[in-house]
Amino acid sequence: MATTYRNLEDELERELEFLLPEFLPITYLDVRVTGIVAGKLSGDPLSASKTLWNIAYHEPWRVKRVLRYIPIKYGCQSTIDKIAFTASKLAPEIPVGSTYKIEAELRGTKLAWGEVINAVAQRMTGLKAKMKNPDYYVQVQVLGDVCGISALKEGDVFRALQAKLAGSEFP
């Protein structure tokens, strides 16, 4: 899932294909949310995020439309039952004793934020929630009828401005 400026979704798709040729073809979903593109890469989405970090760090002028890229591990329909079931598949991938924080962004849905957070939290058995500096961030991205869920570490989400500033020579 990637974000861009309003109404530049087509340009974002072209830029992703230009920046990530080793992950082609990309199958895009029709999410109908302004400024967001979601799809399935041919390859590991986490590796794609690292590739974007590297490009923006070393050649910041090449990244113009990608503002944020969130690697998604699992997709499902946007119902509480499906989100909870998908979270139960994700939980075993986080080592027991690790800490986590749930970050949920809901767009184009009538689902309640608290309801989504509770459904996911109930599936994180053996793990401890921690709001500051957790080991993992459980990302829940709801885009209308579809949802994506991932367990990510700090820095796994590509943020263009952060990457560009890290590579700059500004004080």
Domain spans in the chain, listed from the N-terminal domain onward: 1-71+156-171, 72-154
Q: How far is CA 6 from the centre of its chain?
A: 18
Burial of 84 (0-12, 13-18, 19+ CB in 10 A): middle
Residue 168 has pLDDT above 90, yes or no: no
Residue 171 has pLDDT above 80, yes or no: no
Mean pLDDT of the region 65-87: 97
Q: How far is CA 33 from the centre of its chain?
A: 15
pLDDT at 32: 87
Residue with tokens 């969130």: 70
Residue 16 has pLDDT above 70, yes or no: yes
CA 140, 142, 147 angle in degrees (round to 5)? 80
Class assignment of domain 72-154? alpha beta
Mean pLDDT of the region 137-158: 96
> Which band of pLDDT confidence, cut at 50, 70 and 90, is reported for residue 170?
low
Mean pLDDT of the region 62-70: 98
Task: Give the Cα separation of 104 and 85 in Å (integer).
Answer: 16
Task: Give the Cα separation of 19 and 11 in Å (integer).
Answer: 12
Cβ atoms of 144 and 32 closer than 8 Å = yes
H-type alpha helices, the chain: 9-19, 45-58, 80-90, 113-121, 160-167
Task: Give the Cα separation of 71 and 89 in Å (integer).
Answer: 16
User: What predicted TM-score, i.e. pTM, was given to this entire model?
Assistant: 0.92
